[in-house]
Structure 1
Amino acid sequence: MKVEKYFDLSVLVGNWESVNLNPTIIIYRNDDDTYLISLIHMNETSKQASPATYEIQEDEDGYFISYNLKQLSVEYDARLDMLKLSSLGDYMRN
């Protein structure tokens, strides 16, 4: 997967589904021009969905979110229209 380090975050807006059965995510632009990722965790027992939202941040290595006390890189392959969150894996646009 050829990923760009920096890209226009607006290309990520929308719903993304994990190819590894990780939580579905929604990416959207906030009122203050920040971009947010909401992960939808599904409790298998209660069938309740619980969203968690993270701001996409940027440093010298590219884009990332702070997730469970770790930094997950946010990468995008424009040719395949695939999103990659480092430890959660690849996502396809839904």
Structure 2
Amino acid sequence: MKEEILFDLSVLVGTWESVNLNPTVMICRNEDNYMLTIIHMNETSKQASPATYEIQEDENGYFISYNLKRTVISYDAKLDLLTLSALGDYMRN
């Protein structure tokens, strides 16, 4: 079994830009929970449509349920790089 390294979610708070042109991600704290918002932009209308997910934790690490699938959240502190398994790598904005 692969061991995930847990980290303090507070280091992820902020806005993250995709390196692969995927939707922008924002992470914030809401009382006792951390929330991850994926901001989809409609290219035609230029309207933003945010979708917010609670970051959950189990014995394998952090994740959200995105499009009915488990999307793993990992973080490389040396590179300050956020990775979402369904969307790729993100750099802090």
- What range describes the TM-score normalised by the shorter chain of this pair? over 0.9
* Unaligned residue ranges in structure 1 (runs of 5+): none
**TM-score (normalizing by structure 2):** 0.94
- 1:5 Cα deviation after fit: 2.4
Q: Does 1:89 align with 2:88?
A: yes
* Unaligned residue ranges in structure 2 (runs of 5+): none
Alignment of 1:1-80 (within 5 A): 5-31=5-31, 33-80=32-79
Matched-pair contact (CA < 8 Å) for 1:29–1:35: yes
CA distance in 1, matches of 2:81, 2:65: 20
**TM-score (normalizing by structure 1):** 0.93
Q: How many residues align?
A: 90
Matched-pair contact (CA < 8 Å) for 1:5–1:63: no
Secondary structure in structure 2 of the residue aligned to 1:92: strand
CA RMSD between the two structures: 0.8
CA distance in 2, matches of 1:15, 1:71: 21
- 1:45 Cα deviation after fit: 1.2
Deviation by residue 1:20-78 (Cα, 9 ceiling, x = unmatched)? 000001100002x1000011100111111000000000011100000000010000000
CA distance in 1, matches of 2:35, 2:5: 18
CA distance in 1, matches of 2:5, 2:66: 19
